[in-house]
Chains A and B, each alone.
Chain A
Amino acid sequence: MSAQLQFRDVTLGYDRHPAVHHLSGEVATGALLAVVGPNGAGKSTLFRGVVGILKPLAGSILTGGVAARNIAYLPQSADIDRSFPISVFDFVGTGLWRQTGFFGGVGKEARASVAQALAAVGLSGFENRGIGTLSGGQMQRMLFARVLLQDARLIVLDEPFNAIDTKTSADLMALVERWHAEKRTVLAALHDMDLVRAHFPETLLLARGKVAWGATAEVLTSENLAEARRMCEAFDDSAAACVVDTDASKAA
């Protein structure tokens, strides 16, 4: 299977401090990969790099020919303007932008898809609600519905089950597994280890750098988890320039 994503010694961060440090590896097409790690491990940062919002400080991320429009991203804390006067239906409907284009109307078929997507995430009846009236979990599910409609080849979910109860989590996880069955590549950042062990065949344990990457059972061992916990969360203000980089450039 060809690689959907390639991390080539990539370092991502803010203000020269690395949040993801020298990560290398591949994500196969159609993989269902969980990305886990302590707080500040760099999961969100990594995802931002994958979808192209954040440029790497060093190294590169290759998306194996997947165009930007084929990537769907569910961000953790959405920069969404809740006070904007738009209904849940219209908001979710923007996920269909590739079919409707920017100027086309939303036809009957499209309306049906939107309704279906809303039903799949348990938000039937919310069509006409303004997005500002939604709770955190409902917001999350609405974004999920949009991802459903985007019909993307690569789906990146940043803590998608955060504010959601167990029953709904199970429903949404079923959707994720359906994507996996449809041979889409799915990356999900998660905190719930039980969920990961139960549903995700592959896991990357990230603690700024790669701690372990491979089959879930082999990755989520107590030694690995302990090592990950030892990672220091804060940036070191007195850090020097990364030695590995300068050596590499000297070698080149």
Chain B
Amino acid sequence: MNRLPTSRREFLVGTTAGLLSGRALAQPPRLTAQQVADRIRASVGLPWRAQTTDGFKAGDPSTPVTGIATTVMASTDTLRRAVASGQNFIVTQEPLFYSNNEDPGNRANDPVYLAKKALIDEHRLVVWRFAEHWNARQPNEAARALAALLKWADADVPDAAQTYRIRETTLGALVAQLQSRLPLRGGLRMVGQPGMRVRTVYVSPGTTSLASAVANLQKADVILTGEPREWEAVPYSLDTWSAERGKGLIAIGRLVSEGPGAQACATWIHSVLPEVRVESISIADPYWSVNV
């Protein structure tokens, strides 16, 4: 896979020279948002699900696409940054309007919601969600991208998907490493004794289910995830200490954990749509802490 830039700033897939030469030639008609979505669907390597949260969330599918921006979350700031750099097709991992089904509910007259809708309408943006199918690709793209950013890419454990063998360290030192390599502010939390020895890490961006925690902690010392539920994987990992089989859990937040995956998604989309400019827009850790 392509090497990911370690910078969390926006980056452009493709070269300036390529863009210039493209401009010098006769301009082919721009693809519509629908054509872009169709190309991605046809290339993802999985049957498109009948029931899915992936798909158009805002905008007109017949809109000619000026450029694509991938992001973990299509926040108002993300949309403005896309507009500023000339991208009108936004590929997002997470919902657009504050709920999984995009129903504004009692926020229908909320000024924050209305301002976001107005921004989308004014700039004729198209927002397309691409999470279920992207995350179903094997090997898991988001896990691979997060591991690559942490320089663990070449040390995966055989027969344990998304599990990486790392240079032996302690849980506390691993947390310090994550703090220095990821765009974290106050969002990191951990379960386990900081002095525990760590050699293997199961990488699960987004969240980790109980079943996944139980199964993967058989082989891994630590789970690195986004937002584990605090009545599932969190108390399970806590109880491993009372059972004298102590395991670690590190939660870095959903947005930070999925950030490298959204960057990798830009690289992949450009590989199937080489004629379109593709960019990734980062989202910072939304949390700060009085303890940090």
Please determine whether chains A and B interact with each other in the same assembly.
Answer: no
Q: Which residue numbers of B lie inside 8 Å of A, CB to CB?
A: none
Q: Which residue numbers of A lie inside 8 Å of B, CB to CB?
A: none
